[in-house]
Each structure stands twice: as C-alpha cells, then as structure tokens.
Structure 1
Amino acid sequence: MTSLERILTTPRYLAPAWIFTSLNIVVATWVLYVPAVKERLELDDGQLGLALFAFSAGLLTAIAPSSSLFEKFGLGRLSFIATCCFGLLMCIPVMATTYPMLVVGIFCTGLAASIMDIGMNALISELEYEDGVNIMSAAHGFFSLGGVIGAGLGSLLLGVFVEPVYHMLSVAAFLIVTNGFAVRHYLHRRSRKADRGGEGKFKFALIKPLLGFTVLAVLIMGSEGAIEHWSKLYLLDVVKISSDRVAGFGFVAFSATMTIGRFMGDNVSSRFGPYNIIIGGTLIAAAGFGLVLSTLFWPAMIGFALVGLGFSVIIPELFRLAGRAEGVSSAEGISVVAGMGYVGFLASPAILGLLSDWSSLRLSFAALLGAALVSALIAYVLKLRRT
C-alpha cells in the first residue's frame, strides 16, 4: 500500500493531513490578492516585501512558547484552534485600508500559522512513530494540493466575490467546518515525552545535529515562499503576460508537480535514501529556475513545474528527520526546523522585493537559482558526513 492510499483509507491519517491542505488553501487564496493589495495601498515592491516579512516575525515569535503551549493545551486541540484562527485572521490583510493594518494583520497570521505548522507536522510524526509507517511526504502532498485548490479554484472565482474579504471568509468557513468534522480523530492526542538521557529541560544545544537540516529548510522553504508570493508578479512584469488569470497559473504548475512528487515521495525515499533525493531535487529545481529566467511563457511555465517537482520531497524528509531526532520530542524538533524554515518562507519575499527595487525581479529569481545550487552542496556535505 502506498502512503497516499494509506492516508486516504485511514481516517486517523487523513484528518491531520487535511490540516496541511487547509493551511495552503488559505495562503494560496491570499496570494491571489497580493497584487490588488499592493495597488490599493500604492506600495512599491520593497514596501510589500517588508510587509510580508511581518509573517516571519509572527512565526519567530510563536516558536519559543510553542512547546509549552502544546504541552498545556495538547497537540491535537491546539492544532485545531490554530487552524480555525489562521483562516479568520487572514481576512485582515485582504481588507487592510492602511499599511500598518496590513503589517499587523500579516504578523497575526504568522503567529497562527507557526502553531498550525508545528502541530500538523508533529501529529504526522507521532503517527509515523506509533504505527511504524512513512506518510510524511504524502501529508505534505496534501499541503501542495491546497495550493492547487486555493490558486486554481481561487483564480476562477476572482470575479465572483464583490470584495476579497468575502472570498477569504468563505474559505475560512469551509475550513472550520471540514476540520470540525475531522478533529475527533486527533483532538486528544499529545506529543510524546522526549528522552533526554538526564539532560533535563529542552535546550537549543540539544539540536545541534539538526543545524544542517535547518539551513536547508530555510533555503528551500524560502524559495517556495518566493514563488508563492512573486510568481504571478514575475509573469506579469517580466514575462509580460497580459491576463491576470493566466499569470496565476505559474504557481498552479508549481503546486501541481509538487503535489504529484510528494504523493510519490515516501516510496522514492525508501528506495534512494533522503540525501540522494535532496541532492537530486535541488538540481532539478535549479534547472527549473534556469527555464524561468528565459522570460519566455512556456519555458517559464515548464520551469515552475520543474521547481515544484524538485522541491516536492525535500521538506518532508527534513521534517521526518527532525521529528525522530534523539533527545527532543517531535514537537520540539519540528518546531525549530519548521519554524526557521517558515522564517525563510516569508523572509525571502521581502528579500526578493528589496532586490527587485535595487535591480529587477529577474535578478531576484536568479538568486533563487543560486540558493538551489547551494542547497545541493549542503546536502552533499551532509551525505558525506553521514556515510
């Protein structure tokens, strides 16, 4: 049985996997309105990038207290609460009438997204540990599926809603209802206690072996965040696509191939090993960025698809390794790797905005090509150390 079949046929696996989908449905819907928010508030690329950086600030703020919060409220209960809050809070940025309101709204969504992300990955890690299965990559496939749903269906609905906030409220209501039905399968689940071998309370020094994985998470998730927030503007401004709806399908192509790759990733990982697929994935993504930089429509679309395929299995492998690290609980290990990865996820759009202001958006995407090559080198070094 493949990991995808296992999730689809087992409600206790499908329920937390739906949180992955929920997160990216909301983010992908918000991304559709980023150009409109930029135009309404009359922001340049640098101002927009700094506003998006507030998401990273929210993520960072939530990392430190996350372990205590999960211990107090329970892994399942807090994951569900964060999911509901995230959908509702994302309404603030789309209806922001001032720049400070935009920044505060994005910061608050970052807080909720951080708890949500740590929780959903820890839930899957607990199930993998308890049942002796590999479903992490397929669960992340559901995250990518959320991007396809949010960006694809959302692009078609852009003209349906009178105001963007009505679109976002509809999405939030849908997710609250669907997760409300699923929550009974994980509501009372708690994170297993870490065996520290007499080390006492959790200290960041306990996760030094995860440093390489953390750097990779920052680079890869940073590139994912850059594509999610800037791919549409890149196609409009650099490739010169005239249709607002067609420009949104660059991210759809990226999300579609990432979904397919992640649904196959657990089997690929068991065959080739985590380091080989990380190295191979980053090189495929680098080739994709090369096509994107051609500034031609079809090569760019194929390039976005290749980047999605290359990146598809990398983050699930890093989270799986973090969730199984010795001396830390699944929530603790994932909170650091996922948390710092999400800092990259939203810091990179800010950096790309600044690079675009300084030079061009094309240079920003050239930097992403460089990040993919650096990631391949880091993964190769980690493989040598492991062997």
Structure 2
Amino acid sequence: MNSLYLIITKLRYFGPAWVFASLNIMTGTWVLYIPKVKAKLLIDDAQLGVALFCFALGTLAMIPLSSLIIEKLGVGKVTILGIILFSLLFLMPIVAPSYLLLCIVLFAVGLSACLTDIAMNALVSDIEQEDDVHIMSASHGFFSLGGVIGAGIGSFLITYFDIPLMHMLCATLFVIVTNILVCKEYITIKGKKEEGSKKFFELKLIKPLLGLTIIAFLIMGSEGAIEHWSKLYMQDIVMISSEKISGFGFVAFSVMMTLGRFFGDAVSKHFGSLAIIIGGCLISVFGFFAVLSSALMITIIGFGLVGLGFSVIIPELFRLAGRANGVSSAEGISFVAGFGYLGFLISPPFLGLLSKIDSLKLSFTALLVATIIALTVTFLISKRVSK
C-alpha cells in the first residue's frame, strides 16, 4: 500500500496515475452507450464486432509510430497531449451517422488510445527509475478505478442525459480539465532514449515464455471482451432493460479488479506468483459459471469474482516473465505484454462473431473455456518449475 500512499500524497506520482484512470473513464462511459449506438445504426453483434476491430487496428497501427513521436516530443508532453486527443476523439463514435463512419472514427480513437497507453506506461517507468519507487502496479489500479468512475457513476447519471453526446461531453471536459491541472510535475519529462533498436519478436523468446504468453493472451483477451460486451450481455441474456442496472456487471468487475490490484502485491509475497495465478484463474472460473447462470444478482457477483481473479494474474505474469531464464527482464515483459495486448484487442470482435452464430451466452462460454485453458497451462508450468 506504500505505492498507493505515494500516488495520493505526491502530485508527481498522482499526475501519471490519473492519466491511467482517465483513459478508462472515457472507455467506461463509452461502454454504457454501445447498445444505443448499435440500435441507432441498426447493426447486429457481428457488425459491432467489426467496428470494435477497427479500434484494434488503430491501436496496432500506432505501435510502430508511438516511439518516434515520444522521442520527438518527450514522454511527458505526449502523455498529456495523448489523453486530451483521446478524450476529444471519443466524442465522435456517439454521433457517427453511419456504420462506415463509426468504423473510421473508432480507428482514429484506437490510434490515440495506443499512443496514450504507451506514453503513460513509459512515463511511469521513467519516474520509477529516476526516483527509485514502485508505482506501476498501483497506477494500473487507477486504470481499473477509472472504469469504476466511468461505468459506475455513469450508470447513475445516464438517466439524467437525454442526449448521449452531452454525457460524453461532460466526461471529456472533466478528464481534460483535471489532467491539465495535474500535469505540471511530469510534462517536462523527456524520457530516456534507447540506444539501438530491438525487435519485438525474436524466436529465442518463444521457448521460455510460451506458457506465460498463452496465459496473457487468454486473460487479457477476456478482459477486453468483458469491457465491451458486459452491458449487452446484461441486456440480451439477463434481460435487464434498466440503463442503470445493466451497467452493474462491468461496475462489479472494475471494482473488484481495482481492489485486487491495490492489494495484490502483499498477497503475492506470501504465496508466490504461480500460486496466485492458479488461485486467480480458479476464482474467475467460478465467476464465469455465475455469470452464465443469467440470474441478475448471481451474474453481477460473477462479474465481480472474474474481476478479482483477473486482477492478480497479469502483474504476476510480468514478474515471471522478468525472471525467465536466458531472457532479460525488458525482453520478457515486453514480449508477454505485447501478445497479451493483442488478445485484448482481438477478443471483442471475436465475441461479436460468436454471438452472431448463437448468442452472447456462447461468447461468454468461450471466455470460461479460455480461463480453464489458462488454468491448465499454469498447472503445467508449475509442475515443470517444481521438478
């Protein structure tokens, strides 16, 4: 909890952490209006999945460009400019008058999301090295907290906004103003320049990191799917018509994810990384069974259990990747994180295609299967380590 205390008490650490929160405040608010956008444009789940894939394409397109932009402008400036641009662009999907324009604007949002994401993580990494502190995990906790603010508070506010654009505009202004107020301590940070260039994909990394990469791909993919499809699941499968209540699944997921990330480091010290991943997967499996029950309260509790289980998995994967034999810490973490992020982007459109075949119940069954596979892979890794 020392990292959380540092963030709360020092603007130098709170400023970057608030960017993490802001990114998910906008995303959480947008998630509330996905059903309305779908209904307005008269599109089905598969078409919505393709539109969300355009967001993923925008993110992937920015990956090779982001480092060049950060090197040119400095990591501090790119972080604040990125979150401002991201917030403004997220006004566009709400008002897109056609399906084609929805795909185009989501691609643009994806570009800005990736730039902001890479910049804010690089910023926190540089601050950690400069100040000899550890705030990365807690900063990611603020990302989850942003989802609670965006989807949670937004679920209560949604009935007071007759025009969705006004709700998004309020969220945008809140995010921009608050970030401008807290950016002065980090905006001048240039960041360290890398000497030489390293390839993201190297064959030598596959063998020691294969199991961790599979787990990261499946778990982060499930996170992305829940973020985009949980409200529609509550409406279409649980049959909840209330705008307020249908957002509670994602709220429960985000709240428990936040708590898990704030307290996960202390638990990890007692039980170890592999035990924590196994425990997280088991909790999430029970959570998905509860979600698939389609009973309102049990489903909401299920989303909360999934959030709690997932919260501890990714940080522990990064710890293991950084300690893998024959691989440097930077190589291991970037390799596993990269494929995990790829899963995060691919899963929302994939679930849309599955729901087209049957329903969102099939899609969430696929997430249950993915978690069971991740649990199995973790058991295999733990057996290999114990030998």
- TM-score, normalising length: structure 1: 0.90
Q: 5 Å matches for 1:176-325?
A: 176-194=176-194, 200-205=196-201, 208=205, 212-318=211-317
* 2:102 counterpart residue number: 102
Q: 2:234 corresponds to which letter in structure 1?
A: L
**Range moving further from structure 2, 88-97 or 112-121:** 112-121
Q: 5 Å matches for 1:84-103?
A: 84-103=84-103
**Range moving further from structure 2, 169-178 or 205-214:** 205-214
Q: Distance in 2 between matches of 1:373 and 1:357?
A: 23
Do the aligned residues in 2 keep the contact of 1:63 with 1:336 (CA within 8 Å)?
no
Q: 1:35 corresponds to which letter in structure 2?
A: P
Matching of residue 70 in structure 1 with residue 66 in structure 2: no
Do the aligned residues in 2 keep the contact of 1:191 with 1:329 (CA within 8 Å)?
no
Q: In the TM superposition, what whole-angstrom CA distance separates every residue of 1:352-384 from its partner, at most 9, and x where no partner exists?
A: 111111112111111101111222233344455
Do the aligned residues in 1 keep the contact of 2:321 with 2:329 (CA within 8 Å)?
no
Q: Distance in 2 between matches of 1:158 and 1:43?
A: 22
Q: In the TM superposition, what whole-angstrom CA distance separates every residue of 1:174-205 from its partner, at most 9, and x where no partner exists?
A: 1111111222222232443557xxxx421124
Q: Distance in 2 between matches of 1:333 and 1:173?
A: 38
Q: Distance in 1 between matches of 2:199 and 2:158?
A: 47
**Range moving further from structure 2, 300-309 or 123-132:** 123-132
**Range moving further from structure 2, 216-225 or 32-41:** 216-225
Q: Distance in 1 between matches of 2:31 and 2:9?
A: 32
Q: Distance in 1 between matches of 2:28 and 2:53?
A: 17
Q: 5 Å matches for 1:309-348?
A: 309-318=308-317, 337-348=336-347
* 1:6 counterpart residue number: 6
CA distance change for structure 1 residues 184 and 329 in 2, over 3 Å: closer, same or farther? farther
Deviation at 1:104, TM superposition (A): 0.6
Do the aligned residues in 1 keep the contact of 2:7 with 2:13 (CA within 8 Å)?
yes
Do the aligned residues in 2 keep the contact of 1:76 with 1:123 (CA within 8 Å)?
yes
CA distance change for structure 1 residues 329 and 290 in 2, over 3 Å: closer, same or farther? closer
Q: Distance in 2 between matches of 1:98 and 1:334?
A: 40
Deviation at 1:268, TM superposition (A): 2.1
Do the aligned residues in 2 keep the contact of 1:258 with 1:311 (CA within 8 Å)?
yes
Q: In the TM superposition, what whole-angstrom CA distance separates every residue of 1:195-249 from its partner, at most 9, and x where no partner exists?
A: 7xxxx42112458255554443322221112111111111111112232321111
Deviation at 1:334, TM superposition (A): 6.7
**Range moving further from structure 2, 108-117 or 312-321:** 312-321
Q: Distance in 2 between matches of 1:386 and 1:65?
A: 38
Deviation at 1:313, TM superposition (A): 2.3
* 1:30 counterpart residue number: 30
SS at match of 2:184: helix
CA distance change for structure 1 residues 67 and 385 in 2, over 3 Å: closer, same or farther? farther
* 1:50 counterpart residue number: 50
CA distance change for structure 1 residues 386 and 80 in 2, over 3 Å: closer, same or farther? farther
Q: Distance in 1 between matches of 2:333 and 2:92?
A: 28
CA distance change for structure 1 residues 386 and 125 in 2, over 3 Å: closer, same or farther? farther
CA distance change for structure 1 residues 131 and 278 in 2, over 3 Å: closer, same or farther? farther
CA distance change for structure 1 residues 87 and 123 in 2, over 3 Å: closer, same or farther? same
Q: 1:173 corresponds to which letter in structure 2?
A: L
Q: Distance in 1 between matches of 2:142 and 2:252?
A: 15
SS at match of 1:122: helix
SS at match of 1:204: coil
Q: 1:246 corresponds to which letter in structure 2?
A: I
Deviation at 1:271, TM superposition (A): 3.1
Q: Distance in 2 between matches of 1:252 and 1:277?
A: 23
Matching of residue 378 in structure 1 with residue 377 in structure 2: yes
CA distance change for structure 1 residues 373 and 129 in 2, over 3 Å: closer, same or farther? farther
Count of residues in Structure 1 that have an aligned counterpart in Structure 2? 382
Do the aligned residues in 2 keep the contact of 1:57 with 1:343 (CA within 8 Å)?
no
Q: Percent identity?
A: 55
Q: List gaps (5 residues or longer) in structure 1.
A: none
Q: In the TM superposition, what whole-angstrom CA distance separates every residue of 1:15-39 from its partner, at most 9, and x where no partner exists?
A: 1110110011000100000000000
Q: Distance in 1 between matches of 2:120 and 2:219?
A: 19
Q: 1:34 corresponds to which letter in structure 2?
A: I
Matching of residue 120 in structure 1 with residue 115 in structure 2: no
Q: 1:139 corresponds to which letter in structure 2?
A: S
CA distance change for structure 1 residues 201 and 123 in 2, over 3 Å: closer, same or farther? same
CA distance change for structure 1 residues 99 and 344 in 2, over 3 Å: closer, same or farther? same
Do the aligned residues in 2 keep the contact of 1:155 with 1:248 (CA within 8 Å)?
yes
**Range moving further from structure 2, 6-15 or 313-322:** 313-322
Q: In the TM superposition, what whole-angstrom CA distance separates every residue of 1:26-68 from its partner, at most 9, and x where no partner exists?
A: 0010000000000000001111111111111011111122222
Deviation at 1:314, TM superposition (A): 2.4
Q: In the TM superposition, what whole-angstrom CA distance separates every residue of 1:304-331 from its partner, at most 9, and x where no partner exists?
A: 010010011223344567789998896x
CA distance change for structure 1 residues 224 and 155 in 2, over 3 Å: closer, same or farther? same
Q: 1:353 corresponds to which letter in structure 2?
A: G
Q: 2:231 corresponds to which letter in structure 1?
A: K
Q: 1:269 corresponds to which letter in structure 2?
A: S
Q: Distance in 2 between matches of 1:323 and 1:127?
A: 19
Q: 2:239 corresponds to which letter in structure 1?
A: K
Q: Distance in 1 between matches of 2:255 and 2:157?
A: 19
CA distance change for structure 1 residues 52 and 40 in 2, over 3 Å: closer, same or farther? same
Q: In the TM superposition, what whole-angstrom CA distance separates every residue of 1:140-185 from its partner, at most 9, and x where no partner exists?
A: 1111111111111111221323422222122111111111122222
CA distance change for structure 1 residues 329 and 92 in 2, over 3 Å: closer, same or farther? farther
Q: Distance in 1 between matches of 2:376 and 2:66?
A: 32
